[in-house]
Amino acid sequence: SHMVCEEPFYRAGGLVPIYPILEPSLMLHCGAYKGTLMERLEGMAEILLEESGIQSGDILFLVSNSGRNSVVVEAAIEARKMGITTVAITSISHSRQVESRHKSGKKLYEVTDYVIDNCGIPGDAVIQFDNFNQKVGPKSSIADLTIVNIIVINTVEKLLAKGIIPPVFISSNL
Return the pLDDT at 88: 98
* Residue 43 pLDDT: 92
Q: Give counts: helices (H), strands (E), the chain.
A: 6, 5
Residues in the chain predicted with pLDDT less than 50, given as ranges, are none
The pLDDT, as a whole number, for residue 12 is 93
| pLDDT number for residue 25 | 85
What pLDDT sits at residue 60?
97
H or E segment to which residue 44 belongs: helix 44-52
Are 100 and 73 a contacting pair, CB within 8 Å? yes
> What pLDDT, on the 0 to 100 scale, is given for residue 27?
85
Return the closest-CA partner of residue 92 out of 70, 112, 71, 75.
112
How far from the centroid of its chain's Cα atoms is residue 76's Cα? 11
The pLDDT, as a whole number, for residue 23 is 87
Interatomic CA distance for residues 108 and 65, integer angstroms = 9
pTM of the model: 0.92
